[in-house]
Amino acid sequence: MRAVVWQGPRKVSVENVPDPRIEEPTDAVIRVTATGVCGSDLHLFDHGASMLVKPGDILGHEALGVVEEVGSAVTHIKPGDRVVVPFNISCGRCFMCDQGLYSQCETTQSMHGRKGAALYGYGHMYGGVPGAQAEYLRVPQAHFGPIKVDDGIPDTTAVLLADVLPTAWQAVEYAKVPPGGTLAVYGLGPIGQMCCRIARHLGAARVIGIDRYPDRLKLAAAHGAETIDFTTVDDVVETVREMTGGRGADSVIDAVGMDADGSLAERMLQTVKVQPDRMAALHHALGSVRRGGTVSVTGVYGGWMMRFPLGDLFDKQVALHWGQANVRRWTDRVLEVLRAGDPIDAAGLVTTEMPLGEATRAYTAFRDKEAGVIKVVLRPGEG
């Protein structure tokens, strides 16, 4: 089969690799019909070696497809079923899964429990499981993970159930926006866009979206967000405070993560491995929340943080909630929303579809934030 493989920093290619097969009774194999390119994939694209990605590893963790084969222990899906596969691999029956913490599944935890549940296509730090940007995908723990999807839900909406929609839903839930409250969202990529829409759907009175790219700001504004282009203001934190009566937002989401635009010093520290991540978005998020508010972090970070403002957070009584999305905890609720007419316009998020064979072009267009390229989906059956 053909698959997108990591070849080294800033280099991916589409190669022929062996077809997956059933290895355990709890496995399934699906034929992938749509697979997303995620902002998290860009972290690997740029910094894969630090996440223990090896040349030849298959990337991708967002998969929609058709079941081809199931192991003897898999009974809730069968060949021919249309399914979406959550990006974290969880068993559904261990202690952590019983708490709804599927991203911490004890059955698939990586690095002898020092990391959370295994993830598709996310390097050997998270299990070394071949990824979803391929024509076929082996699905471990398929007795629990895959979710059957209604035929009436379009592919470009259904594939978002693997990651984007549950990740954004969890970020908003974790932000604990009070009734009639204000939420600020840093980063208006796919996750940030859906955070804005879901927050409005769940009752936030105001949503402030913060980014620098005109197409992203325009899209968020079209769905009811007030927007800030942070390149046009002297101090984005002070701007948020001015927009919220001098207090700061009730809740803030960091939907950017480790590669936020930062100072030259931060970029140099990241390049020479003194500091693994750039922290501009997180610093701004922590500064923009009011006293007693909540910061929800859904952008991916890979390492420790210099100059963490612990004293300020203690003084302000700020609550922090973060982590990988527990996908299966939220998918039933998200499916109800999609079946009820899709009031969050998930169907309008995907801007760019490309054949799997154009993956290199897709990665560079998404990384470079080319105008109009906000969410990319690859089609393995095309091109």
| Contact in structure between 349 and 190 (CB atoms under 8 Å) | yes
Is pLDDT above 70 for 58?
yes
Say yes or no: 284 and 355 in one domain. no
* Same domain (yes/no): 94, 149: yes
Range of the domain at 184: 165-322
**Cα torsion angle, 233, 238, 240, 241, sign:** negative
Structure tokens at 378: 């690859």
**Which string of DSSP letters, residue by residue, matches 70-85?**
E-TT--S--TT-EEEE
Amino acid identity, residue 275? Q
209 CB contacts (<8 Å, ≥6 apart)? Answer: 184, 185, 188, 192, 196, 217, 220, 221, 225, 226, 227, 228
Please report which confidence band the pLDDT of residue 21 belongs to, taking 50, 70 and 90 as the band edges: very high
Where a domain ends, among 277, 303, 322? 322
Closest Cα to residue 199, out of 219, 216, 221, 182? 182
Q: Are residues 334 and 354 in the same domain?
A: yes
CATH number at residue 271: 3.40.50.720
Q: Same domain, yes or no, for 183 and 307?
A: yes
CA-to-CA distance for 216 and 315, rounded, in angstroms? 34
One domain for residues 284 and 344: no
Closest C-alpha among 29, 50, 35 to residue 276:
50
8 forms beta bridges with 11
Token digits of residue 152: 């009436």
- By C-alpha distance, which of 308, 42, 109, 139 is closest to 51? 42
Please state whether beta strands 249-254 and 182-186 pair in parallel, antiparallel, or not at all (unpaired).
Answer: parallel
141 and 177 belong to one structural domain: no
Output the pLDDT for position 261: 52
Are 16 and 141 found together in one domain?
A: yes
Tokens found for residue 320: 């922090």
Compute the distance between CA of residue 327 and CA of residue 102 in angstroms, rounded to an integer.
7
Of 72, 210, 224, 68, the residue nearest 137 (C-alpha): 68
Cα R_g (the chain), whole angstroms: 20
Looking at every residue in the chain, the average pLDDT score rounds to 92
What pLDDT is stored for residue 49 in this prediction? 76
pLDDT in tens, 204-255: 999 999 999 999 999 999 999 999 999 999 999 999 999 999 999 999 999 9
pLDDT recorded at residue 5: 97
Together in a domain, 169 and 303: yes
Query: Are 227 and 118 contained in the same domain?
Result: no
Q: Over the stretch 335-371, which tens digit does the pLDDT of each residue have?
A: 999 999 999 999 999 999 999 999 999 999 999 999 9
Name the domain boundary from 322, 344, 362: 322
What pLDDT was estimated at residue 275? 39
Residues 156, 173: one domain? no
Of 322, 354, 369, which one is at a domain's C-terminal end?
Answer: 322
Q: Please state, for a pLDDT cut of 70, what percent of the chain lies above it.
A: 93
> Rounded CA gap, 359 and 381, in Å?
13
How high is the pLDDT of residue 278?
63
Separation CA 275–CA 259 (nearest Å):
12
Phi, psi of 335 (to 5 degrees): -60, -40
Q: Could you give phi then psi for residue 58, rounded to 5 degrees?
A: -85, 130
Same domain, 297 and 170: yes
Euclidean distance between CA atoms 44 and 52, whole angstroms: 9
Whether the per-residue pLDDT at 383 is higher than 70: the answer is no
CATH number, domain containing residue 21 = 3.90.180.10
Instruction: Report the alpha-carbon distance of residue 258 to residue 275 in Å, rounded.
Output: 10
Distance CA(252)–CA(282), nearest Å, equals 10
Q: How many separate domains does the chain show?
A: 2
Name the nearest CA neighbour of 299 among 192, 184, 382, 153: 192
For the segment 265-291, what is each residue's pLDDT rounded down to a tens digit?
Answer: 344 344 434 334 467 889 999 999 999
Q: Are residues 143 and 246 in the same domain?
A: no
Is the pLDDT at 43 greater than 90? The verdict is no
Regarding predicted confidence, which is higher, 45 or 149? Answer: 149
State the pLDDT at residue 328.
97
Q: Residue 114 corresponds to which tokens in the numbers above? A: 């020092």
pLDDT value at residue 169 = 98
**pLDDT of res. 255:** 95
Give helix 164-175 / helix 190-201 axis angle, nearest 10°.
50
